[in-house]
Amino acid sequence: MPCEGDHDDGGVKEMRTRMGFTGDEALAYAAKQSTVDVVSAYPITPQTIMVELFSEYVANGEVDTNFVCVESEHSAMSACVGASLTGARVLTATASQGLALMHEMMYIASGLRCPIVMGVANRALSAPINIHGDQSDMMGSRDCGWIQIYCENAQESYDWTLQAFKIAEDPNVLLPVTVNLDGFILSHAMEGVEVLSDEQAKRFLPPRRLDCRLDPKNPATIGALCLPDYYFEFKKQQDEAMKQVPAALAKVTEEYMRLTGRRYGMMDEFETKDAEVVLVCLGSTAGTARSVAKELRARGKKVGLLKLWLYRPFPSNEVADVIAGSKVVVVLDRALSFGAPYGALCQDIVSTMYTSRSKPLISNVIYGLGGRDITPSEIGSEYEEALAAAKTGVLGEQVKFVGVRE
Amino acid sequence: MMVVLKELTTEELLAPGHRLCGGCGASIAARLALKMTRGPTVVVQSTGCLEVATTIYPYTAWRVPYAHIAFENAAAVASGIEAAFKAMEKRGAWKEHVDVIVFAGDGGTFDIGIQALSGALERWHDFVYICYDNEAYMNTGIQRSGATPHGASTTTSPAGSRIPGKAEWKKDFAAICAAHGIDYVATASVAYWNDYMTKVRKAIEVDGPAVIHVLSPCPRGWRCDTSESIKMARLAVQTRFFPVYEIEHGKYALSVKVPKPLPVEELLKSQGRFSHLFKPEHEGEIGNIQRRVDANWNRISSLCGEVQK
């Protein structure tokens, strides 16, 4: 339903529009407003809605996008790399096994500095086969050189998709981005999403500036063989590009804030300033955790929440600044890292805090695998236990499985 | 219309100085094909000899825009490039038509790349796919592929005292491609340069996908002298071991007629990869191969409407 906007854009008050979207649809709608030249994708639950809706836009002539409906995710990412090198703005989407099948190509997309945006409806990995939400898929590709953003709700799915293209295509960055949505919880749940008009979106994100690296007038060899004498330098440069992400992200999110009033960044904090216990998580669980933290705050408990939007590059210094003042940090991982000391997110938090002057106790909660819900009471118990540990200075289990039958 | 030697461009879009072996059929296949381009062209390559030996950073032999992405996906990459040029043209960001040519070896085509190729043919992308077939994974050290002929000794189908080299027979790749209903498929041999080059131009001019399967000897893997590459490529045709034909709109036509074929033994004895077939313990294998060659030739020439003799 349109309503009057609080923020003006270029001096002209524009009407705000709210639409009912699932997370998948919100991503597809943002893509529709992003002048995407090529979409290459392969269907997989729970990502399918993204590509189905986008196909409808193509079928109805609402976009000029060339939709390449390929025969596998491996080919989807391969076609995306080819199209991106040609200079096109490129989108794909996948989940779970599809992401795993793309794994090889994800390193090549980042190594060749292709600013592709990929929606990932996070889903468990086989075996046993399971189509529901957890973050094992993306965690398996966390070192592939992609910028990785996690969304809490459908609004964020819309907002981050528009911003993702702009961050990816920043000339100092030129790296691909994944926009992660928890499978089903976000991909399929309908919410109200405030959207920009097509004109506003186009002003924020104009068509991709022509950057054809396969230009017949200026022939270049892409994907050359680099032996020990040069390979390392390429990888170092790629790492430098990754380091440019926070600055690019700050610029883009600031511009987006001026346009929409919605402020994004590397992370989102709730009552962390004086918190004795900070819970850290990714994705939709932050919504549940925030409501629990609110209740506990109302009862005078000093608890806070740190939700990371940006997982790669990992905002180590900023995370340390937020949690260094707390006594206990509870890190929620919706994925297992078999044989490792902690879940993936917790490993990053622990290594970040090792060099911090103050060292809060850190406990790791593994939860929600294969789409199992985590309840407010379970999160409440974790907060309570951590508050107790904050008093005694002693943690119970370092890594704990919550919500699983023993 | 056949290519005429004196009308060929002297421009070398595959520059000399690359590091392919002397006598490498792949370099000949790529060089000749690039003389047939009709305008702006992008080359896509699958991982393989031709790629590793021509693009050792910071050098490159390619005077055309060139993309190598991975092993199994050259056709998918070409799909993306073709789709991107079309999309950018549609929004006015790109003006000229660009032809897309893929070069991929037999491993990257018959085996690991067949899915991506099948998908790209089915989607009808406008590109030319040239499979340079040296009949094994030569880049990694002569391992057998789906294109390796029966009886050839490779490092993963070695001739032993019990097993006489590769037990299986070569895939009919041209038929697989033709089964997609595409407008143009051809086989060729680098020994018949004008036939091959004519076919390349024909393939480029097709509006849609086109495939050329070109036999490209590898002296290292075939165990023959580097000076004998072209001879081997000719012998394969003259023994009817590798029929050269085209399939236009589903219609087969023989390009090189072989009215008086040499016995296949002539080819087998000239290449070290078949030398074990002449040992007493493998007696009968040469006869098997000859029968298979005859049957395949009869099948192809019958499809081509040739009168059987």
Sequence-distant (≥ 6) Cβ neighbours of residue A132 within 8 angstroms: A46, A123, A124, A183, A184, A370, A371, A372
What phi and psi, each to the nearest 5 degrees, are found at residue B53? -90, -10
Kindly determine whether residue B81 and residue A214, on different chains, have CB atoms separated by under 8 Å. Answer: yes
B15 has a chain A CB within 8 A of its CB:
no
A-interface mutation test, from B85, B97, B125, most A Cβ less than 10 A away: B85
A237 has a chain B CB within 8 A of its CB:
no
A292 three-class SS: helix
Is the CB of residue A134 less than 8 Å from the CB of residue A123? yes
What is the structure's pLDDT at A406?
A: 87
The C-alpha of A209 sits at a distance from chain B's nearest C-alpha, in angstroms, of 9
For chain A, what are the domain ranges?
A: 3-260, 269-402
Nearest-CA residue of chain A relative to B60? A221
SS3 of B37-89: the string is CCCCEEEEECCCHHHHHHCECCCCCECCCEEECCCCCHHHHHHHHHHHHHHHH
DSSP, residue by residue, chain B: ----GGGS----SB-TT--PPTT-HHHHHHHHHHTT--SSEEEEE-SSHHHHHH-BTT---BSS-EEE--SS-HHHHHHHHHHHHHHHHHTTS--S--EEEEEEEHIIIIITTHHHHHHHHHTT-S-EEEEEE-SSBTTTTSB--TTSPTT---SSS-B-SSSBS--S----HHHHHHTTT-SEEEEEETTSHHHHHHHHHHHHHSSS-EEEEEE---HHHHT--GGGHHHHHHHHHHTTSS--EEEETTEEEESS--SSPPPHHHHHTTSGGGGGGGSGGGTTHHHHHHHHHHHHHHHHHHHTTPPP-
d(CA B205, CA B183): 11
What is the structure's pLDDT at B2?
A: 86
Kindly determine whether residue A35 and residue B91, on different chains, have CB atoms separated by under 8 Å. Answer: yes
Q: What is the pLDDT of residues B176-224, one digit of tens each?
A: 999 999 999 999 999 999 999 999 999 999 999 999 999 999 999 999 9
Cis peptide before A171 (omega within 30 of 0): no
B180 has a chain A CB within 8 A of its CB:
no
Per CB-CB distance under 8 Å, the chain B contacts of A225 are 51-52, 55-57
The tens place of each residue's pLDDT in chain A, 406 residues long, gives 334 444 444 444 556 899 999 999 999 999 999 999 999 999 999 999 999 999 999 999 999 999 999 999 999 999 999 999 999 999 999 999 999 999 999 999 999 999 999 999 999 999 999 999 999 999 999 999 999 999 999 999 999 999 999 999 999 999 999 999 999 999 999 999 999 999 999 999 999 998 999 999 999 999 999 999 999 999 999 999 999 999 999 999 999 999 999 999 999 999 999 999 999 999 999 999 999 999 999 999 999 999 999 999 999 999 999 999 999 999 999 999 999 999 999 999 999 999 999 999 999 999 999 999 999 999 999 999 999 999 999 999 999 999 999 8
In chain B, positions 21-40, which contact chain A (CB-CB < 8 Å)? 40
What is the structure's pLDDT at B308?
A: 65
The C-alpha of B272 sits at a distance from chain A's nearest C-alpha, in angstroms, of 31
Enter the ipTM: 0.97
The C-alpha of A380 sits at a distance from chain B's nearest C-alpha, in angstroms, of 49
Per CB-CB distance under 8 Å, the chain B contacts of A40 are 79-80, 83
A228 has a chain B CB within 8 A of its CB:
no
Per CB-CB distance under 8 Å, the chain A contacts of B57 are 224-227, 230
B-interface mutation test, from A114, A225, A230, most B Cβ less than 10 A away: A225
- Say if A3-260 and A269-402 have the same CATH topology: yes
B92 has a chain A CB within 8 A of its CB:
no
Kindly determine whether residue A68 and residue B80, on different chains, have CB atoms separated by under 8 Å. Answer: yes
Per CB-CB distance under 8 Å, the chain B contacts of A37 are 84, 87-88, 91
Record: fold of A269-402? Rossmann fold (3.40.50)
Q: What is the pLDDT of residues B272-293, one digit of tens each?
A: 999 999 999 999 999 999 999 9
Homologous superfamily assigned to A3-260: Thiamin diphosphate (ThDP)-binding fold, Pyr/PP domains (3.40.50.970)
Per CB-CB distance under 8 Å, the chain A contacts of B63 are 219
Out of A74, A90, A224, name the one closest to residue B55 (CB).
A224
In chain A, positions 101-130, which contact chain B (CB-CB < 8 Å)? 104-105, 108, 112
Whether residue B256 has pLDDT greater than 70 = yes
Per CB-CB distance under 8 Å, the chain B contacts of A79 are 76-77, 79-80, 83
d(CA B111, CA A340): 36
What is the structure's pLDDT at B307?
A: 78
First to last CA, chain B: 28
Domains of chain B, first to last: 13-303 (3.40.50.970)
Kindly determine whether residue B88 and residue A90, on different chains, have CB atoms separated by under 8 Å. Answer: no
Nearest-CA residue of chain B relative to A38? B84
In chain A, positions 53-72, which contact chain B (CB-CB < 8 Å)? 64-66, 68-72
First to last CA, chain A: 48
The C-alpha of B305 sits at a distance from chain A's nearest C-alpha, in angstroms, of 35
Cis peptide before A46 (omega within 30 of 0): yes
Torsion of CA B205, B206, B207, B213, to 10 degrees: -120
Neighbours of A79 (CB within 10 A): 37
What phi and psi, each to the nearest 5 degrees, are found at residue A15? -70, 140
Q: Sign (positive/negative) of CA torsion A139, A144, A149, A153?
A: negative
**Strand-strand pairing, A303-308 and A267-270:** antiparallel
Kindly determine whether residue B73 and residue A65, on different chains, have CB atoms separated by under 8 Å. Answer: no
Q: What is the pLDDT of residues B134-171, one digit of tens each?
A: 999 999 999 999 999 999 999 999 999 999 999 999 99
B-interface mutation test, from A34, A37, A65, A205, most B Cβ less than 10 A away: A37
Is the CB of residue B51 less than 8 Å from the CB of residue B73? no
Kindly determine whether residue A224 and residue B56, on different chains, have CB atoms separated by under 8 Å. Answer: yes
B242 has a chain A CB within 8 A of its CB:
no
Beta strand ranges found along A259-341 (DSSP E): 267-270, 277-281, 303-308, 310-312, 328-333
Kindly determine whether residue B88 and residue A82, on different chains, have CB atoms separated by under 8 Å. Answer: no
Burial (CB count <10 Å: 0-12, 13-18, 19+), residue B265: middle
In chain B, positions 203-232, which contact chain A (CB-CB < 8 Å)? none
Q: Sign (positive/negative) of CA torsion B144, B145, B149, B151?
A: positive
A208 three-class SS: coil
Q: What is the pLDDT of residues B8-63, one digit of tens each?
A: 999 999 999 999 999 999 999 999 999 999 999 999 999 999 999 999 999 999 99
Q: Please state the pTM of the whole predicted model.
A: 0.96
Per CB-CB distance under 8 Å, the chain B contacts of A216 are 40-42, 64-65, 96, 98
Nearest-CA residue of chain B relative to A105? B70
A220 has a chain B CB within 8 A of its CB:
yes
Out of B55, B84, B119, name the one closest to residue A71 (CB).
B119
B86 has a chain A CB within 8 A of its CB:
yes
A38 has a chain B CB within 8 A of its CB:
yes
